[in-house]
Chains A and B, each alone.
Chain A
Amino acid sequence: MSDAQKSDPGLYDYAPYRGRPKIKWQDGKTCAVWVAPNLEYYELDPAVNPYRKSWPKPHPDVVGYSHRDHANRVSHWRMAEMMTKHGFPGSVSLSVALCDHIPEVVEDANQRGWEFFSHGIYNTRYSYGMDEAQERAIIEDSITTVERATGQRIRGWLAPALTHTPRTLDLLAEYGMDYTCDLYHDDQPTDVKVKSGQLTAIPYSLEVNDHYGFFIYNMSPRDYADTLIRQYDRLAEEGAQSGTVMCIPLHSYLIGQPHRIGPFEAVLEHIAADGRAWITKAGDIVDAFRKQAGGVL
């Protein structure tokens, strides 16, 4: 790969927000809203990747590990129940090893009708430094593990701990994945330039991710809830011109804490009552986009 290619990976053409073709969501809805719970497994004493430390502290990182373990013991159940109560399905960013470790959580999500995409094997194993065979191995592992555990064929990918190689997107398309959650350049879906097949970048979000809200921006739970409501209101308004997408990426060990889940409920109530939201799953948004835009964006 040349330096020029490295500098601009050429993932998509520039497409200004003004004057775009109109995307129409079903029933006149203006904003497609999808909730992306990260269902993860972090290892207590993981193998070492030379490019990134797994834990900031020496192992065992008791707070780091046990905070995340709170997800599977406590807060997943709290978060999932609330989403179901207000009619929000999940599109799950899954550490696929969770299918082996805590099948109860994966089965619960599957029974609620949620969709799964891969977030790698563990969130403590990174793609940095993988050769092609190794990266193929984790993609194939993801496909077969999720299919065995849930009967679902995964259609999407969020790189484990957001670690990529320059070939990741091409490989995803080659294996028939329909969407990636790894690109943050737009509020509408975009087709990605890949060597073969078709891959759509669906808007995910770092900015309104609960991790960013609570640990980058240090928001209180009520401030975070207010942020989500503002984000939704604006996207629903702009979506009258051409349909927008809002993703709410969650980590149950954060949003499912007792001081946060109550304020968060107000967000789901607001969006559900507004009337402009198409509350759906990632794969359905990608399908609707492809049917009409044909990948023009």
Chain B
Amino acid sequence: MSLDPSYLDYPKRRRGMDHDYYPYSSLFDRKPVQWPDDKRLLIWPVVSLEYFPMVPNDDPFRAPEHMQTAYPDYRHYTAREYGTRIGIYRLLGAFEKVGAKVSVATNSVIAERYPQLIADIVSGGHEIIAHSTDMNGTIASGLTEVEEKALIEASLAALEMATGTRPRGWLSIARSQSFNTAKLLTEAGVDYMCDWVNDELPYAFQTDAGAITNIPLNHELSDRQIINVQQQSVDSYAEQMMDAADWLLAEAEHYGGRMMPMHLTPYIMGLPYRIGSFEKLIADLVERTDIGFARGDTILDSWMAQQ
């Protein structure tokens, strides 16, 4: 038994990363960031607004939480639709109560199917981030560059048509990218992406088409991860978010401004028995004068101005 001799070759074993997208950097060695209005911690709510076609596509992969039974999977189709009819309005209502402006990562077909919802989000002062076309618009290696470019453009164009503004941010489905994604986003004029979770502040990400900023949307602090995947209660979710906020605020005293992503899913957090706990959480957070809520583009512009 032996492996191919090349298995013990390490062509990228060198100082720094094993790729050229970004250099190594320790969060604790960087110039401190100052947020607007003297906030020490900015909470970045990102709501995923998704449309799951009832015929799922497995190429390149089936989106998490997509259809699961034989056709017709009314169970999952309608349970996801609950989010775009009811859950999203509960979340928007919760944010209105505390005056928070948030980012909404939107499948572009939502703009075509539910224009009233998009109008309500925009008129509420929230930001639209592009989130592919629909939940069949997954990206991974194997997708050709031409196909991926078309998918990104279709998403951006439809959202621009609906809102009058070209989205500045991009979230991939399941944060899954190909080796081309960052370059194609840069070429399409996108200012930031949310897929890489390796940091807790924005950082510059290099591509052959120039730089794009990555704002890390920590997948572990999402309602999907904590409530659906790890099967914990909404009260535990709220406790974990408060613990995270407490910790980051303490760090901010020594190291400068911190940010905390809050990734939400309308069909998960927007249920009647969960929303009350969530409303209490954001009410508790907003009571503290050193905590603010911010859209992704606000965080991006503030951070960029300090680089």
Q: Chain A: residues with CB nearer than 8 A to chain B?
A: 41, 43-45, 47, 49-50, 57-60, 62-63, 65-70, 72-74, 77-78, 97, 100-104, 121-122, 125, 129-131, 133-134, 137-138, 165, 214, 218, 220-222, 257-263
Chain A neighbourhood of B50, CB < 8 A = none
- Are B200 and A221 touching (Cβ within 8 A)? no
Chain B neighbourhood of A78, CB < 8 A = 251
- Are A259 and B244 touching (Cβ within 8 A)? yes
Q: Smallest CB–CB gap between A39 and chain B, Å?
A: 14
Q: Smallest CB–CB gap between A236 and chain B, Å?
A: 27
Taking the complex as formed, is B12 at the interface, i.e. its CB lies under 8 A from any CB of chain A? Answer: yes
Q: Smallest CB–CB gap between A86 and chain B, Å?
A: 16
- Are B199 and A74 touching (Cβ within 8 A)? yes
Complex: how many Å from CA A62 to CA B141?
11
Query: Size of chain B's interface in residues, with CB distance under 8 A?
Result: 61
By beta carbon, the residue of chain B nearest A137 is B8
Instruction: From known contacts A218-B232, A222-B239, infer whether A74 and B218 are also in contact, taking CB-CB under 8 Å.
Output: no
Q: Smallest CB–CB gap between A45 and chain B, Å?
A: 8
Instruction: From known contacts A49-B3, A63-B197, infer whether A258 and B248 are also in contact, taking CB-CB under 8 Å.
Output: yes
- Are A44 and B7 touching (Cβ within 8 A)? no
Chain B neighbourhood of A104, CB < 8 A = 24, 26
Complex: how many Å from CA A60 to CA B174?
13
Chain A neighbourhood of B218, CB < 8 A = 257
- Are B1 and A58 touching (Cβ within 8 A)? no
Q: List 9 A-B contacts (CB under 8 A).
A: A44-B18, A47-B6, A58-B142, A59-B179, A100-B13, A101-B17, A131-B1, A218-B230, A258-B248
Q: Chain B: residues with CB nearer than 8 A to chain A?
A: 1-3, 6-10, 12-19, 24-28, 60-61, 140-142, 172, 174-179, 195-200, 216, 218-221, 226, 229-232, 236, 239-241, 243-248, 251, 260
Could you say which of B3, B198, B245 contacts A130, with CB atoms under 8 Å apart? B3
Chain A neighbourhood of B236, CB < 8 A = 220, 222
By beta carbon, the residue of chain B nearest A258 is B244
- Are B176 and A72 touching (Cβ within 8 A)? no
- Are B3 and A70 touching (Cβ within 8 A)? no
Q: Smallest CB–CB gap between B184 and chain A, Å?
A: 14
- Are B3 and A131 touching (Cβ within 8 A)? yes
- Are B260 and A258 touching (Cβ within 8 A)? yes
- Are B231 and A218 touching (Cβ within 8 A)? yes
Chain A neighbourhood of B1, CB < 8 A = 129-131, 165
